[in-house]
A and B are shown apart, each in its own frame.
Chain A
Amino acid sequence: MNISRRTMLHGTGLGAAAMLLAPGGALAAAHGGGDVTIAYHVNLPSWDPTVGLSAVNPTIQTFYQTVFDQPITQNPDLSFSPGLLTGWGWNDDRTEIWMDVREGVKWHDGSDFTAEDVAWSLRRAGNAETGNPMQFLWSKVTDYTVSGNRVTGKVAAYEPTFFKWLSFLTGYFLPKAYFEKVGADGFEKAAIGTGPYMVEQFERNAFVRLKRNPNYWGPKPAFETVVFKFVTDASARVAEVESGQSDVTLEIPYQEYDRLKGKQGLAGVTTPVSDIGMIFLNDIEVMTDPNVRKAAAHAINKKAIVDRLLRGYGVPIDTLQAPEYAAFDASIQVAYDPEAAKALLARSGYSTDNPVRFRIQTTRGFKPKDYEMVQAIVGMWRKVGIEAEIEVYEIAKHYELRATDTLAPAAFYNWGNSIGDPSTSTGFAMFGPSPHSVWDGQDLIEMIGPLWGEADEAKRIAGYRAVDRHIAENAYVIPLLQYVQPIVHSDKVSVATHVSGALLPQTIKPA
């Protein structure tokens, strides 16, 4: 056969066009056919859920909870129920803990999940050399022993939230024998857990394909295969779900959520999540004046911010506790009262003609409408006699400034608390010695200090409510709102929301 250059070029061109336009699985998110595709908003950096930066990143827990299971299951409303542990607790004098390990559970390689795995995982978590960022917490229990399916440990320092953390950050069980065989690097390349889905293929920064675990001890997930595409750009996520290339996506702008949920073939769900927006006040410069702080708090119309900037997707709050948290107290309220704000400022000699001046720091685009919210707040403040200068910074700088207690007098930030415990919100954010706090008042140190190790749970929660009331009365911080998570999905699937913000594929079902 004689092939001329012209024929060759012609054929190559047609072939390329055919390859490009051939109907491929690439464009079809095959819902209902045994698989589901999720356009997820963050990358998964690492498969070890107990060490490194990703271990303490709440948005990544979705993957870990799906593959590794939770020792104690956190329900969608943040309550707890048995997971890999069927029972747990302290002895009467709080000197020991006990945990009953679920029987009949298999690791993804088919080996048995045992009590020895649990003891080994907790010893490893408490060992400073392994790099667990929450080692300080796990090291509060030592000397684990195994007897049958029961694991016991000695309490070195009583930590009331110990078991709550077994449902969240870094508190996962890993397979002792497998990990020791393959090492940390090998585990990173081929991670196994006990969860409802197993890792089938992982392409860093691109996707992870999960396969249903046939030996799962809990309810069987509806879909055989789950693909998480890591689509970190919000516009691309919108396009993914709008074009049908993904079945589910989340964390998109609220205006896009409103537009997409009304489109044929798509639906939407929202839920308030364990993440709040707040303004840190640093006890420096004018913020040492209680009149200024209280005026700043009273001058903010939170409902207007939620309604006008967030299209109603937010819940105004007056303490650092969201309604789903254990120490939420609806009776603690800080009213929007611009006249009271003016009167308070007048007591310190400030007015609209002679405003009090300070800086407020904020991120821009890190959270929905963060900069716009601060702009609106500055506008509200201006009307009562506060002139605030906005400084935009990167989130990395916020962490550095907060850790070194050098934030501006006011700084906008968001604060997550997926275990819903007051120690994680009010405790760490407002306890002076904590590197997370920039308010150093002795009154709060004395109020919060005894609560860290309080063994009586009711007393502990009541104590935090009293702290929250004291903080609100003195305006040591300005809580603004609880965020709402938007999820858009194909109408061929149904998606269950979770207050922690996790999007768990095992809860996605055909509609």
Chain B
Amino acid sequence: MNRSMLLRRLLQAIPTLFGVSVVVFVLVRVVPGNPIAMMLPPGATAADMERLRVAYGLDGSIVEQYVIWLGQALTGAFGTSISLRQDVLELVLGRLPATLELALFATVLAVTIGVLATMLGSLYRGRWPETLIDTINGFTLAVPDFIWALALILLFGVVLPILPISGRINPRLGTEFLTGFYLLEALLTGRFTVLGDLLRHIIMPSIALALPLAAIITRVLKNSLAEAMVQDYVMIARVKGFSRWRIIWQEALRNAAIPALTLTGVQFTFLVGGTVLVEKIFSYPGIGNMAIDAVTNRDLPLIQGLILCFAVIFITVNLLVDLSYALLNPRLRS
């Protein structure tokens, strides 16, 4: 992908984000549930209700509200959260690193499990290990992430209480961070006790997220690897006397990886969406957890900010996936 293509892709993101903002703005206002009605205390009158509607900028038409919101958003002001009373952008950016760390950790885990399972299945094609892997794969695929989350809590939190059930870090550590990327920061600053604690907290939610994704990766990668294994260049490698492991690892896997990479990119965005439930179950303080509270409280500015954030992640990941094609396949670089 050359520079002009990259620029074109970035420009294409603008109408996409605009469209998302319009759809979200209208949707969150037409679904049932009025944030002002929710915050009415006992004794409030209809006049108090109207006063609050004006105070929170909900008294105009949807079009008027959107124009005001868009004007402010273009200057970087996404409004103030109704329930948290803080700047939406500050809130979202404050939480995003936690979700990104979780999603990336889960993706790395899923890719590792997926590649290993595929390699093992391919090495033992037609024998019992492949059958076992396929069976486990089918089971893993059938169980959604939140069920894995509950099962993991029961197993490693209660029956074998070796991992913490909730949160991102032990509240007693009293550690302060400069950035929201705790794992990375702890690693770079050499705080290994803190790093260990962070890993203990992230391992269960990331496994819950990773297992279904790993199953999908395994399925796609295994199929494309099977196709690659009958290609001419693999036959040549066989003729040369390369071992089966070397043929898979060095010759076939790189070509077979492209469909799996596309899938991983797309699934990453779904995985970020999937953090909503998993973060809630593990009380993990990311944007998914915040999204549930925002929807429950009908916190309209925050819901808009969060969905736009999800949209930006989606666009960015797709762009990165396109860029990575070029790295894997030289023919696409031109």
Beta-carbon contact of B154 and A239 below 8 Å:
yes
| A41-95 contacts to B (CB < 8 Å) | 43, 45-46, 48, 51-54, 56
How near does chain B come to A47, taking the closest CB pair, in angstroms?
A: 9
Beta-carbon contact of A396 and B161 below 8 Å:
no
B112 beta carbon closer than 8 Å to chain A: no
| Given A236-B166, A400-B32; A51-B196 close (CB under 8 Å) | no
Beta-carbon contact of B33 and A400 below 8 Å:
yes
Partner of B165, one of A133, A245, A433: A245
Beta-carbon contact of A399 and B161 below 8 Å:
no
A397 beta carbon closer than 8 Å to chain B: yes
B12 beta carbon closer than 8 Å to chain A: no
How near does chain A come to B50, taking the closest CB pair, in angstroms?
A: 10
How near does chain A come to B235, taking the closest CB pair, in angstroms?
A: 31
Beta-carbon contact of B37 and A403 below 8 Å:
yes
| Given A46-B85, A136-B43, A236-B153; A19-B170 close (CB under 8 Å) | no
How near does chain B come to A132, taking the closest CB pair, in angstroms?
A: 9
How near does chain B come to A376, taking the closest CB pair, in angstroms?
A: 26
| Given A396-B298, A436-B40; A203-B283 close (CB under 8 Å) | no
Residues of A within 8 A of B153 (CB): 235-236, 239
Residues of B within 8 A of A230 (CB): 283
Partner of B39, one of A35, A133, A203, A229: A133
Residues of B within 8 A of A502 (CB): none
B289 beta carbon closer than 8 Å to chain A: yes
Beta-carbon contact of B196 and A22 below 8 Å:
yes
Residues of A within 8 A of B173 (CB): 25
Beta-carbon contact of A400 and B37 below 8 Å:
yes
A232 beta carbon closer than 8 Å to chain B: yes
Q: Which residue of B lies closest to A225 (CB)?
A: B172
Question: Which of A48, A200, A401, A435 neighbours the largest number of chain B CB atoms within 10 Å of its CB?
Answer: A435
- Partner-contacting stretch, out of B3-11, B199-207, B261-269, B315-323: B199-207
A1 beta carbon closer than 8 Å to chain B: no
B104 beta carbon closer than 8 Å to chain A: no
Beta-carbon contact of B161 and A27 below 8 Å:
yes
How near does chain B come to A31, taking the closest CB pair, in angstroms?
A: 13
Beta-carbon contact of A399 and B34 below 8 Å:
yes
> How many residues of A sit at the interface, in one of the four size bands?
35 or more
Beta-carbon contact of A51 and B85 below 8 Å:
yes
Residues of A within 8 A of B40 (CB): 56, 133, 399, 403, 435-436
A231 beta carbon closer than 8 Å to chain B: yes
Partner of A402, one of B37, B48, B197, B201: B37
B82 beta carbon closer than 8 Å to chain A: yes
Residues of A within 8 A of B281 (CB): 233, 235-236
Beta-carbon contact of A21 and B85 below 8 Å:
no
A251 beta carbon closer than 8 Å to chain B: no
Partner of B48, one of A136, A232, A400: A136
Q: Whole-angstrom distance between the alpha carbons of A396 and B293 in the complex?
A: 12
Beta-carbon contact of A27 and B199 below 8 Å:
no
Beta-carbon contact of B296 and A396 below 8 Å:
yes
Beta-carbon contact of B158 and A239 below 8 Å:
yes
A446 beta carbon closer than 8 Å to chain B: no
How does the 8 Å CB contact mask read for B20-58 relative to A, with 1 for contact and 0 for none?
Answer: 000000000000111111111111111011011001000
Residues of B within 8 A of A323 (CB): none
Partner of A26, one of B82, B197, B289: B197
Beta-carbon contact of B297 and A53 below 8 Å:
yes
A327 beta carbon closer than 8 Å to chain B: no
Residues of B within 8 A of A417 (CB): 42
Beta-carbon contact of B167 and A206 below 8 Å:
yes
Q: Which residue of A lies closest to B196 (CB)?
A: A19
How near does chain A come to B249, taking the closest CB pair, in angstroms?
A: 15
| Given A52-B82, A229-B167; A428-B158 close (CB under 8 Å) | no
Partner of A53, one of B46, B82, B199, B285: B82
Beta-carbon contact of A207 and B83 below 8 Å:
no
| Given A51-B85, A136-B44, A136-B45; A229-B283 close (CB under 8 Å) | yes
Residues of B within 8 A of A16 (CB): 199
Can you list the 8 inter-chain pairs with the closest CB atoms, starting with the nearest?
A396-B33, A19-B196, A397-B32, A399-B37, A403-B37, A205-B285, A206-B285, A400-B34
Chain B residues close to A by CB (< 8 Å): 32-46, 48-49, 51-52, 55, 82-86, 94-95, 150, 153-154, 157-158, 161-174, 192-193, 195-197, 199-201, 203, 280-285, 289-290, 292-293, 296-299
22 A–B contacts from the bound complex (CB under 8 Å): A18-B196, A24-B197, A26-B164, A26-B201, A52-B39, A52-B83, A133-B52, A170-B41, A203-B285, A204-B94, A209-B171, A229-B166, A229-B171, A236-B153, A236-B165, A242-B158, A393-B32, A394-B33, A399-B40, A400-B32, A424-B43, A435-B49
**Given A396-B37, A397-B32, A399-B38; 6 other pairs, CB 8 A cutoff:** A19-B192, A184-B85, A185-B86, A207-B171, A233-B280, A239-B158
